[in-house]
């Protein structure tokens, strides 16, 4: 397998050296060039033609955000943002500017976790459809929303969404387009580090007519809410007096965290035909087995179409498990979700 060609862009000499060593150490890629800021990186793009770029966001002259805008309009290339844990808002802004993914690193030296994370990201790069990388305009801030408080009643149906690489942008598009409704709730399993899922939920909340937040163990699931699974845990659904969230530590056998398969399987067991499963862009097959259980329980399955998926791995796997799944482009997904909840909910 031909190694990926990587360009490292960072204004810190020591960080550039660490990243070069980290990239070469994965044995999946080779570094073809380094740049100290976005302006230098832009000059090198045409001659180096990298397959992937690791990018610092805070740099002199031309920062990471400006570089992303220029690069995506001239030569769209997968970008992995390398950022410290305390720069979460900047990371989500970079994803809107066209970055593919990110690695959260501690201040100072890159550690073993960064090596493993980079290896996983590089493995997914080969499946990326570069024509789907683009700068996204953030949705308008929502001032009016569903009020899920008051006397509790179980939602008529559940929408369970699974996503990985490319998921934050896809989820933002969907959640911002859903019309206000107290009849159903949305649960999300997005592969993301634990320190980022709370801020991600807060960001989604700005654009949604639903109340969006990170899920809490034991809380009741109410219509009009979107609950994001914490990144270091797995979410389940329990149906007793109330429909509730249960958070559990991932098992050693679970390759993906949060586990979409576990969430979808629990939702199918708890709510049967009243579940709509949605499998979005991502590498691997997480969500495929869970989608099959949703279908077997009488629920419906939607998968993001290949035409809009940044990485078609997860939707393809789900479609293989459930051939009757409806394949939907991301810009139509909210409409299809609303159509499906009207079908699967009690009539």
pLDDT (tens digit per residue) in 111-161? 667 888 889 899 888 888 776 677 777 788 887 677 877 888 899 999 999
Q: How distant, in Å, are the alpha carbons of 45, 131, 191 from that of 230?
A: 37, 31, 10
Catalytic residue among 36, 164, 181, 265: 164
If you average pLDDT over residues 93-117, what whole number do you get? 83
- What is the extent of the structural domain holding 63? 4-132
What average pLDDT does this structure show over 152-175? 95
Specify if 139 maps to a domain. no
Q: Among the listed ranges 108-112, 114-118, 185-189, 320-324, which one has the minimum average pLDDT value?
A: 108-112
CA pair distance 270, 167, nearest whole angstrom: 25
- Whether 148 is in a domain gets the answer no
How long, in residues, is the chain? 347
| Confidence band for 222, pLDDT divided at 50, 70 and 90 | very high
Confidence of residue 293 (pLDDT cuts 50, 70, 90): very high
Q: Is 278 helix (H, G, I), strand (E, B) or coil?
A: strand
- Told to judge if 331 belongs to the known catalytic residues of this protein, a careful annotator would answer no
What the block records as the tokens of 128 is: 């990326």
The answer as to whether 147 is a domain residue is no
pLDDT above 80: residue 86: no
Residues 61 and 126 in one domain: yes
Tokens of 295: 């279908």
Asked if 279 and 287 count as a contact pair (C-beta separation under 8 A), the reply is yes
**Quick check: is 146 in a domain?**
no
What tokens does 333 get? 């997904």
Mean pLDDT value across the chain: 92
Q: Please check whether residue 145 lies inside any domain of the structure.
A: no
Confidence at residue 41, expressed as pLDDT on a 0 to 100 scale: 97
Predicted confidence at residue 345, as pLDDT, reads: 67
Asked if 84 is an active-site residue, the reply is no
Identified catalytic residue from 11, 37, 191, 325 = 191
Q: Are residues 88 and 9 in the same domain?
A: yes
Number of domains comprising the chain: 2
Question: Does residue 190 have a pLDDT over 60?
Answer: yes
Catalytic residue among 157, 286, 295, 309: 286
**In CATH, what number is assigned to the domain containing residue 279?**
3.40.50.180
Give the domain CATH number at 80.
Answer: 3.40.50.2300
pLDDT at 109 over 70: no
Identify whether 164 is a catalytic site residue. yes
Residues 315/327, Cβ–Cβ less than 8 Å: yes
Whether the bond into 307 is cis, omega within 30 of 0: no
On whether residue 138 sits in a domain, the answer given is: no
**What pLDDT is stored for residue 19 in this prediction?**
93
pLDDT band at 346 (very low <50, low <70, confident <90, very high): low
**Would residue 143 count as lying in a domain?**
no
Q: What is the pLDDT of residue 85?
A: 66
pLDDT of residue 1: 76
């Amino acid at each position: 397998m031909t190694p990926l060609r990587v360009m490292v862009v960072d204004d810190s000499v020591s960080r550039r050296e660490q990243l070069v060593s980290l990239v070469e150490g994965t044995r999946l890629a080779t570094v073809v060039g380094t740049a100290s800021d976005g302006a230098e990186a832009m000059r090198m793009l045409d001659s180096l033609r990298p397959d992937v770029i690791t990018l610092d966001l805070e740099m002199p002259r031309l920062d990471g955000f400006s570089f992303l805008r220029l690069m995506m309009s001239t030569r769209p290339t997968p970008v992995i943002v390398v950022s410290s844990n305390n720069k979460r808002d900047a990371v989500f802004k970079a994803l809107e500017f066209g970055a593919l993914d990110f690695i959260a690193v501690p201040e100072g030296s890159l550690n073993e976790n960064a090596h493993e994370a980079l290896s996983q990201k590089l493995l997914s790069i080969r499946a990326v459809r570069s024509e789907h990388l683009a700068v996204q305009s953030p949705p308008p801030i929502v001032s009016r929303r569903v009020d899920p408080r008051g006397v509790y009643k179980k939602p008529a149906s559940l929408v369970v969404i699974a996503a990985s690489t490319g998921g934050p942008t896809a989820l933002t598009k969907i959640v911002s387009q859903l019309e206000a409704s107290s009849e159903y709730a949305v649960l999300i399993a997005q592969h993301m580090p634990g320190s980022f899922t709370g801020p991600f939920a807060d960001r989604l909340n700005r654009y949604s007519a639903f109340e969006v937040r990170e899920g809490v163990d034991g809380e009741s699931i109410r219509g009009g809410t979107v609950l994001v699974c914490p990144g270091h845990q797995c979410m389940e659904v329990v149906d007793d007096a109330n429909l509730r969230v249960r958070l559990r530590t991932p098992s050693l056998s679970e390759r993906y965290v949060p586990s979409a398969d576990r969430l979808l399987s629990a939702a199918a067991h708890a709510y049967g035909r009243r579940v709509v499963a949605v499998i979005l862009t991502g590498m691997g097959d997480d969500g495929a087995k869970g989608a099959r259980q949703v279908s077997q329980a009488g629920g419906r399955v939607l998968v993001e179409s290949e035409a809009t998926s940044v990485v078609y791995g997860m939707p393809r796997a789900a479609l293989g498990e459930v051939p009757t799944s409806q394949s939907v482009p991301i810009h139509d997904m909210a409409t299809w979700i609303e159509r499906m909840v009207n079908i699967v909910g009690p009539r």
